[in-house]
Amino acid sequence: MMFKYFIITTAVLVFSSINTWAQQATLVGKWITPDKDKIEFYIEGQTITGKQISTETEKNKKNNNRIIATALKTTGPMVFEGTVIDPKDNKTYKGRFTINEAGTEVELKVKWGFLSFNETWKRVK
C-alpha cells in the first residue's frame, strides 16, 4: 500500500515538473515587436531572460544584444512576470507577458505607478 502512494506521488511530481517546464518553454524563442525589434527569450537558471538580438530600424541598432527582460517567472497559464528594462534609459518596470492560446502572439503589459503600456509581439517562425 505504501509503495502505491509512493508511485502516485512520484508520478504527480514528475507531471507537474514537466508541465511547468512546458509552460516556460512557450515564451522561449524569438518574437518581433511592432518597432521591428527581434527579441529572444531563453531560460537562465530558474527564470527566463529576454534580449534584443536585431532590429530593422537604424535608431534601435545600438540596443542589439541588450537585456530587455529578466527574472521572468510563470505566474499563471501562459503568463510570465518579471522585470522589463527600457533600453533607451535603462529604467526598470514591472512587466507581464501573456501568450495567446495559439502561441503566436504575446502581449506585453508594463506598469509604472497607475499608468500602464500594452504592446503585442508576434512569434518569429
- Across 9-114, the runs of DSSP E, i.e. the strands, are 29-32, 37-44, 47-55, 67-76, 79-85, 92-99, 105-112
In this structure, what C-alpha cell is assigned to residue 80?
510570465
pLDDT tens digits along 28-85: 999 999 999 999 999 999 999 999 999 888 878 888 889 999 999 999 999 999 999 9
- Whole-prediction pTM value? 0.78
Domains, the chain, in order of start with CATH, read 2-123 (2.40.128.520)
* Nearest Cα to Cα of residue 94 among 77, 105, 78, 108: 108
For residue range 92-123, list pLDDT tens digits in order: 999 999 999 999 999 999 988 889 999 999 99
